[in-house]
Amino acid sequence: MPVQRSSSSDGAYKVNRKVRVALGNSKGSGDGVRTLRPKSSIVDKAHRKARVATEESKGSSDGVRTQRPKSSNVDKAHRKSRVATEELKGSSYGVRTVESKRNGSKKVSSIGNSNEAVSYVNVNEKPSRDLKSKSSRVQRDLKTKSGNEGFEAVIDGNSGQKRKRIYADPGMVDDRMFHGFDRNSSSKSNNNGVRLYLDKVKKVTRGKVRELKDSSRNTLLTGSNKFNGSEFLDKKIRRGNTEGADKQKHVQENGLGNGTWKTSDKRKTPLATKKDLNQRNYAVGSVEKPRKKKDQGKKSLGADSDLTEGPPPKKKKRVIRIDPHDVSNKRLDDGIANNEVDSLPKVFFLQFLAPPWRWKTRSASSRECFYMIIKMPHILSNKNDNLIQPRQSNEIWRSISIPEINKKHDDLLLFLLTGVRLIILQVFRNKLEFFAAAKISSSFPSPDLPEIAFAGRSNVGKSSLLNALTRQWGVVRTSDKPGLTQTINFFKLGAKLSLVDLPGYGFAYAKEEVKEAWEELVKEYVTTRVGLKRVCVLVDTKWGMKPRDLELIDLMERFQTKYQIVLTKTDLVFPIDVARRAMQIEENFKAKKSAVQPLMMVSSKTGAGIRSLRTVLANVARLVRH
Ligand SMILES: Nc1nc2c(ncn2[C@@H]2O[C@H](COP(=O)(O)OP(=O)(O)OP(=O)(O)O)[C@@H](O)[C@H]2O)c(=O)[nH]1
Ligand SMILES: [Mg+2]
């Protein structure tokens, strides 16, 4: 009696095929099913493994004895299945294919209950048209399993008649299979192949299963109809040992012969409903080629829009790009973005003006690390601290080995430096206050605070730079008319630092003798002032260094006053020209002892380079000992 496949489903059909193979039924036997190996796929591999597992479980006494193919070569498998089919047309039942190379032929054995007929078929021969067509039909049948329709016309490979195939819900089958099947159970004997199969099927269908409504899933899984995976396994293995009528009976009892699970009406109902078909379509469709957006939109307007709506659209990640140049002049945040907090050490932070019990431990920011790093003796010995930029601090931090940092004395150092760092960062947040102006050296205020002076030609942008650094526009007067600043003006930044705005030299709208007096005053200041820590020599990027600039620099070299060259108004020049100018000046000042590297490039108008300059100057303040 040929076994019907009319109601076979995706999952159920796969299982049927597998079970049929396990039973060793042959087409010609009248009670079995032709076993053809489908195209190589995950499921097919799993089938093979399942067969091997089954064979191992019952020994090689009778029933199925399918040798595992040496490779997953598809052609090989096809040839084998064709040979087996041809040979077994006239045999009773049971298939045993054994690969053996003898003059390019394969040994195919069909086994009955006890008799064994062996014949050799030349596999190099092209298969007959009939066989080819049958094979392709079966393959086509397999291919159509992922179609969206709930049913389709199928030409039966055996009878050649048209039949209607209804696909069962693959999710349902999988759910049944997985429920109660303990994947981690210790009873590994004989289960490996099947477990692998289940795993693989589950992998494929996991997405689909999830999408099924809970209600329908519960219907499938609850009550006495609940499928027990281990039970399935036991039956499958036992079936291998069952013979003849027992086998057939077993198949019929379990509903495997007609491609369905033996279930109660209650369980069949959800499969038959329209809703379930929709569900199934959705589930099957979800693993197929994704529909076009347009189609999805159309579908969502339909009756079953609740089932077709996909996952919520992914939010676009906002990418914040940090400009390499400082354009954050108006930003109060002094720290740079800290994306790698985890890689940074936890540091005890001393919070000023807070009682000790409020002092906290937290991860240091990269900027904080920067200050810790540049203070470490072993770093300072190798590098000029001004060469380390805060943005480099993370890299440097990572290059230092952790034990190195975790040394007790280093911890203490970090602790102390962190406190110092807080003072530094707050320096440029302090209110800029004018406190003294001097036309002659005797009028200079007492050098209580460390000083940073800004020198340069008239109209180069000294006063503007002071405003930009402190973000306090208007405190220092500026003008587009050269010669506005005519006295040495002293400004306090809190009680920590003093910034000094010097009168310009060179061309200015002033009398020659007045200009000479300014120049003399400036020279006196840079050579004699106690507490002067650095002189920023401002140079217009467009015009470059002038003889008077060099004159002042020579003087400072002689008196060993530390100075740093700052290119201003970089926004007015093409970047390439800024770079060229910077290189040119740096080359000339390499050999100078009092010159502090690197050369800074700023624009008070756009804020470019202001932050870097702030850091450098804050560092100057940190080095000061009171
Ligand atoms: N485009 C541009 N203009 C700037 C920049 N810095 C200053 N200026 C302009 O240059 C002119 C002179 O600026 P000041 O800051 O007064 O120059 P100074 O060096 O103090 O000049 P004196 O006090 O006369 O010595 C002003 O008009 C500023 O607006 C800058 O970075 N870019
Ligand atoms: Mg000025």
3-state secondary structure 28-44: HHCCCCCCCCCCCCHHH
Query: Distance, CA 390 to ligand 2 centroid (Å)?
Result: 30
Residue 273 sits in the same domain as residue 364: no
Asked if residue 530 is part of any domain, the answer here is yes
Asked if residue 292 is part of any domain, the answer here is no
Query: Distance, CA 481 to ligand 2 centroid (Å)?
Result: 9
The pLDDT assigned to 568 comes to: 93
Residue 248 sits in the same domain as residue 382: no
* Contacts of 65 by beta carbon, 8 Å cutoff, 6+ apart: 55, 96, 98, 111
324, with CB counted inside 10 A (0-12, 13-18, 19+), is exposed
399, with CB counted inside 10 A (0-12, 13-18, 19+), is exposed
pLDDT tens for 360-373 read: 666 666 666 666 66
Nearest-ligand number for the alpha carbon of 536: 1
Query: Distance, CA 615 to ligand 2 centroid (Å)?
Result: 23
How many structural domains does the chain have? 3
Asked if residue 188 is part of any domain, the answer here is yes
Q: With contact defined as beta carbons under 8 Å apart, do 431 and 494 qualify?
A: yes
Residue nearest to atom 21 of ligand 1 (CA): 459
Residue nearest to atom 23 of ligand 1 (CA): 485
- 326, 329, 459, 542, best to mutate for ligand 1 pocket (most atoms within 8 Å of CB): 459
Helix or strand (DSSP H, E) at 622:
helix 610-622
Nearest-ligand number for the alpha carbon of 609: 1
Of 387, 406, 427, the one marking the end of a domain is 427
Q: Which two tokens stand for residue 416?
A: 């102390």
Of 400, 427, 454, the one marking the end of a domain is 427
Query: What is the domain range of residue 407?
Result: 341-427
Which SS3 state, helix, strand or coil, does residue 166 take? strand
The pLDDT assigned to 504 comes to: 87
Nearest-ligand number for the alpha carbon of 473: 1
Integer Cα distance of 605 and 591 in angstroms: 32
Q: Residue 248 phi/psi, 5° resolution?
A: -60, -45
Which SS3 state, helix, strand or coil, does residue 301 take? coil
Which amino acids bring their CB within 6 angstroms of ligand 1?
Answer: 456, 458-464, 478-480, 482-485, 504, 568-569, 571-572, 603-605
Asked if residue 322 is part of any domain, the answer here is no
Integer Cα distance of 503 and 490 in angstroms: 12
Integer Cα distance of 144 and 40 in angstroms: 15
Beta strand extents in 326-397 (DSSP E only): 346-349, 360-363
Whole-Å CA distances, 257 to 234, 237, 244, 268, 406: 17, 16, 14, 17, 72
- 604, 606, 613, best to mutate for ligand 1 pocket (most atoms within 8 Å of CB): 604
Residue 256 sits in the same domain as residue 404: no
Residue 80 sits in the same domain as residue 163: yes
Residue nearest to atom 32 of ligand 1 (CA): 569
Asked if residue 422 is part of any domain, the answer here is yes
Residue 456 sits in the same domain as residue 422: no
Integer Cα distance of 59 and 177 in angstroms: 25
Strand 432-438 to 488-493 pairing? antiparallel
What does the angle CA 224 – CA 230 – CA 233 come to, to the nearest 5 degrees?
115
Asked if residue 326 is part of any domain, the answer here is no
For residue 589, the domain's CATH number is 3.40.50.300
Of 408, 427, 446, the one marking the end of a domain is 427
- 327, 457, 464, best to mutate for ligand 1 pocket (most atoms within 8 Å of CB): 464
The pLDDT assigned to 122 comes to: 42
**Cis amide prior to 598 (ω within 30 degrees):** yes
Residue 138 sits in the same domain as residue 259: yes
Residue 378 sits in the same domain as residue 262: no
Residue nearest to atom 2 of ligand 1 (CA): 569
Q: With contact defined as beta carbons under 8 Å apart, do 623 and 534 qualify?
A: no
Residue 448 sits in the same domain as residue 415: no
Q: With contact defined as beta carbons under 8 Å apart, do 64 and 240 qualify?
A: yes
Total count of residues recorded for the chain:
626
* Contacts of 243 by beta carbon, 8 Å cutoff, 6+ apart: 62, 63, 113
Residue nearest to atom 16 of ligand 1 (CA): 478
In 40-99, alpha helices (H)? 42-58, 74-88
Query: Distance, CA 501 to ligand 2 centroid (Å)?
Result: 7
Residues of the chain under the 70 pLDDT cut? 1-426, 621-626
Is the full-model pTM beyond 0.80?
A: no
Residue 437 sits in the same domain as residue 563: yes
CA 450 remoteness from chain centre: 48
Nearest-ligand number for the alpha carbon of 464: 1
Residue 554 sits in the same domain as residue 479: yes
The pLDDT assigned to 572 comes to: 92
Integer Cα distance of 503 and 454 in angstroms: 9
Query: Distance, CA 556 to ligand 2 centroid (Å)?
Result: 21
DSSP string, 140-174: HHHHGGG-SSSEEEEE-TTT--EEEEEPPPHHHHH
Asked if residue 302 is part of any domain, the answer here is no
Query: Distance, CA 503 to ligand 2 centroid (Å)?
Result: 6
Integer Cα distance of 466 and 492 in angstroms: 11
Residue 162 sits in the same domain as residue 264: yes
Asked if residue 552 is part of any domain, the answer here is yes
Residue 32 sits in the same domain as residue 137: yes
